[in-house]
Chains A and B, each alone.
Chain A
Amino acid sequence: MDFPFLFQTMKTLLAALPMTLALFSLSVLFGGLLALLIVWMRVGGNPVLSRFARGYIFIFRGSPLLIQMFLVFYGLGQFGFIRHSFVWPALREPFVCAVLSLALCTAGYTAEIFRFGLRAVQPREIEAARAIGMSGFLLVRRIIAPIAFRHALPAYSTEIVMMVKSTALASLVTVWEVTGVAQRLIAQTYRTMEVFLCAAIIYLVLNFLILQAMALIEHRLSPHRRAAVSLVPGGLPVSR
């Protein structure tokens, strides 16, 4: 095996890793916030907003991300009023387009995941909160959201790994992240296997780290679902 070549390839690919990470973290952040808004519309009780949210989820989960991304990247610039508006300097940037379409897409999937999390909240836990005088945002913040988020976490972890993979599509709108650079190296060297190997290792390590982090969060957030033994933090095990 040609180790110098592998080493060189790895170096070149790792140089593009910050771009992949930037795409990933920004789109997960904005997508998550947007998902909260959509879930709120979906379950909020207003029929017009609820229908809009349904439509949003249907469209963004039902069509390929690539066509959404091309629509944003090529499609929006076709309109004069967009080209002449204040958002154009941002929207002409491939990076902004990529983040925008990644965030729009993941918001649709994430909204459904959060909605299923909400269904796990027991009505009687809400009732107990009402009985001591909680309502509105306080009720959501202290009782509903924490319970729903814990239930949504496993599915949300899967969605986040999907997002790591989805950042690869940004290379098709000329953002040079890891997969794009890998494709360029393959086209230049025809050493497909070696380049693939290096890129795959980067993604797999990245996924592994993210899943570990998510598992840690899940572990931290759900002591109530573990056995009674490790209950007292730093203390002796409590027996039943």
Chain B
Amino acid sequence: MAAATRLSVRNIHKSFGAHEVLRGISLDAHDGDVISLLGASGSGKSTFLRCINLLETADQGEIVVDGERIEMTVRNGRNMPVSRKQIDRIRAELGMVFQSFNLWSHMTILDNAIEGPVHVLKRPRAECIAEAEALLEKVGIAEKRHAYPAHLSGGQQQRAAIARALAMKPKVMLFDEPTSALDPELVGEVLRVMRSLAEEGMTMLVVTHEMSFARNVSNRVIFMRSGEIDSDGAPEELFGKGGSPAFRQFIGTFGS
């Protein structure tokens, strides 16, 4: 039996002014898929990720999260979601990890992690704290749970941000260049956490420049170029000899 489809995106278009950033991207993610999105900067991969949880609104296209279609309508000539409630609910099901962590600076790490479960999902606080502490333990920063973001290293902040996203029990995790803002020596600790998530069967969509992650952890690699999908396939295949000339050139510049 084929695994359930967690996320299905059809024909996404997005322009900023005259500049067309996404030109019809489609993608299906099944349960347990770990998909790496590669591409030069400006190829539209971050915009694509942000369109999925509607931090940007696509001009055109369809998004289905775990069987639920996001309803869109055209108002004043712009594509808009119909129901704000639905968007909030969908967002709660999609965990997002940002390049710049985006932890709330006025809350401790633990408070960051329980904020969503307690106030968005309205679950009992004690339960949320217990779960959040387990998650912080898992990402290896349990001892920092009463510290504030400003007092943590970048790697620790990013691991906390991953725990915050996991605390919502998301169906799909979206990673937007999670290691790009980190010093090289801190990249490893974040990748280790992501790897163990992948091994547990979390469905993940990862925009990244980490070739080793794309090659060794993900089960599918998508290479984007000028707002379109250039190559799409299993890492062994693409990194073997299946990739397009543009992809070969791209990984060449990364020296792998």
Chain A residues proximal to chain B, CB less than 8 Å: 122, 124-125, 127-136, 138, 142-143, 146-147, 150, 221-225, 228, 231-233, 235, 238, 240
Partner of A127, one of B94, B98, B146: B98
CB distance from A101 to the nearest CB of B (A): 35
**A138 and B121 alpha carbons, distance in the complex (Å):** 12
Q: Across the interface, which residues of B come within 8 angstroms of A143, CB to CB?
A: 104
Chain B residues proximal to chain A, CB less than 8 Å: 53, 55, 84, 87-92, 94-96, 98, 100, 102-108, 115-116, 119-120, 143-144, 146-151, 161, 164-165, 168
Besides A128-B98, A131-B94, A132-B120, 17 more A-B contacts (Cβ < 8 Å) are A125-B103, A125-B105, A128-B161, A132-B91, A132-B92, A133-B88, A133-B168, A134-B119, A134-B120, A135-B88, A136-B84, A138-B119, A147-B105, A150-B106, A224-B106, A224-B150, A240-B151
CB distance from B55 to the nearest CB of A (A): 6
Q: Across the interface, which residues of B come within 8 angstroms of A132, CB to CB?
A: 91-92, 95-96, 115-116, 120, 164-165, 168
B115 engages A133 (CB within 8 Å)? no
**A38 and B28 alpha carbons, distance in the complex (Å):** 47
**A150 and B116 alpha carbons, distance in the complex (Å):** 21
User: Beyond A125-B105, A131-B55, A135-B87, is A231–B98 a contact (Cβ under 8 Å)?
Assistant: no
**A143 and B55 alpha carbons, distance in the complex (Å):** 17
Q: List 25 A-B contacts (CB under 8 A).
A: A124-B100, A125-B105, A127-B98, A128-B96, A128-B98, A128-B104, A130-B55, A131-B53, A132-B92, A133-B90, A133-B120, A133-B168, A134-B116, A135-B84, A135-B87, A146-B106, A147-B104, A147-B105, A221-B106, A222-B106, A224-B149, A231-B146, A231-B147, A231-B148, A238-B147
B116 engages A224 (CB within 8 Å)? no
Partner of B150, one of A122, A136, A225: A225
**A133 and B169 alpha carbons, distance in the complex (Å):** 13
CB distance from B13 to the nearest CB of A (A): 22
Partner of A125, one of B88, B95, B96, B104: B104
Q: Which residue of A lies closest to B115 (CB)?
A: A142
Q: Which residue of B lies closest to A240 (CB)?
A: B151
Q: Across the interface, which residues of B come within 8 angstroms of A233, CB to CB?
A: 146
**A147 and B106 alpha carbons, distance in the complex (Å):** 7
Q: Which residue of B lies closest to A232 (CB)?
A: B146
Partner of B96, one of A131, A147, A225, A240: A131
**A224 and B104 alpha carbons, distance in the complex (Å):** 10
**A138 and B120 alpha carbons, distance in the complex (Å):** 8
Most B C-beta atoms less than 10 A away, residue of A136, A224, A225, A232: A224
Q: Which residue of B lies closest to A129 (CB)?
A: B104
**A99 and B230 alpha carbons, distance in the complex (Å):** 69
**A135 and B90 alpha carbons, distance in the complex (Å):** 12
Task: Please list the 5 inter-chain residue pairs (A to B) with the smallest Cβ-Cβ separation, ordered nearest first.
Answer: A133-B92, A224-B148, A128-B102, A131-B96, A132-B116
**A138 and B84 alpha carbons, distance in the complex (Å):** 13
**A221 and B102 alpha carbons, distance in the complex (Å):** 20
**A115 and B210 alpha carbons, distance in the complex (Å):** 41
Q: Across the interface, which residues of A come within 8 angstroms of B53, CB to CB?
A: 131
Q: Across the interface, which residues of B come within 8 angstroms of A130, CB to CB?
A: 55, 91
CB distance from A182 to the nearest CB of B (A): 43
A124 engages B106 (CB within 8 Å)? no
**A231 and B164 alpha carbons, distance in the complex (Å):** 20
Q: Which residue of B lies closest to A150 (CB)?
A: B106
**A103 and B60 alpha carbons, distance in the complex (Å):** 50
